[in-house]
Amino acid sequence: MRGLVAAGEARGDAAAGLESAAQVLATRRKIRQQLFEALSYPAFVFVTAIAALSIILLVVVPAIAPLLTDSGQKMPVYFSVILFLSRALQSGWPFLAGAVPLIGLSVYFGWRYGGLRSWTDVWLLDGPLRSIVTPLVFGGYARTLGDSLQAGANLSEGLRLCSRSVANGEARKRLDIVMTLVRQGRSLSEGFRSVKGFPKPVIKLCEVGEASSAVGPMLGRAGEREETAALGRISKYSKLLGPLLIMVLGAMIGALMAGVLTALTDIGSVAGT
């Protein structure tokens, strides 16, 4: 944001720089809101299913186990497995309560002082989520750079300032080559082409902008398109993830309840006999 304001001040139009910064902030807030809306339903389904599984294993199964044991018949294999899971969860609560803070501290120190953050940044850019993360990271960078250029910043200064706005450390390292190539007299599109994972549509629109002397507007448009496409993928995947979680977790709950009801039926048969 400071880069956009500085670009406006350098051109003698601080108001335009402030307006560009406000637009970028509004866009990022909109992206965060859409991410929350897209992921809230799958998260709710997952938490609800975990709660249901915990109730079955911690309340229902322990209440039925003595009845089946007192009936004098051999305990079915499937119910033995369910009972084992229930007892493991009951006895494991103190360990879980102690493990959660330790895991949290390990993640915190690994993120801040170790290599966990660097590994996570690389995994996000090159892993299975790259079709979502890469457009958001590089598309946001292209949009910010385009706004900086439109606000009056020169290309070298805009590259230097906008690289600071990239939260992903691995992406910042990959973008360093762009500034180096531009200072050597190469075009901006050539620099983007040297960045691993940089979106090709942004490169093509950058070439169009260079040919028409409108790099700033073209980069802003390209970055906006990439962010919109990434949000569309997030929305599509979240719509698929919710039903998929319902099917998987519903099957797990159904299997547990089937085992419990079958055990009750066996107890009823013995009592009737």
The CATH number that applies at residue 24 is 1.20.81.30
Q: Is residue 116 part of a domain?
A: no
Q: Is residue 272 part of a domain?
A: no
Using DSSP, state whether 39 is helix, strand or coil. helix
Query: CA 41: distance to chain centroid?
Result: 14
Sign of CA dihedral 227, 158, 216, 14: positive
Q: What is the pLDDT of residue 134?
A: 92
Reference 145, options 186, 196, 205, 185; nearest CA is 205
Count of the separate structural domains present in the chain: 1
Q: Is residue 56 part of a domain?
A: yes
Q: What is the pLDDT of residue 7?
A: 66
Q: What is the pLDDT of residue 73?
A: 62
Alpha-carbon distance 192 to 178, whole Å? 6
Mean pLDDT by groups of 10 residues along the chain of 273 residues: 69 73 78 79 82 81 73 68 78 73 80 79 88 90 84 79 82 90 90 92 92 89 89 82 80 77 65 51
Residues, the chain, total? 273
Q: Is residue 69 part of a domain?
A: no
Domain ranges, residue 227: 13-62+74-92+132-266
Q: What is the pLDDT of residue 75?
A: 67
Q: What is the pLDDT of residue 268?
A: 61
Residue 171 token pair? 């992406």
Q: What is the pLDDT of residue 138?
A: 92
Q: Is residue 121 part of a domain?
A: no
Q: What is the pLDDT of residue 167?
A: 82
Q: Is residue 21 part of a domain?
A: yes
Q: What is the pLDDT of residue 69?
A: 67
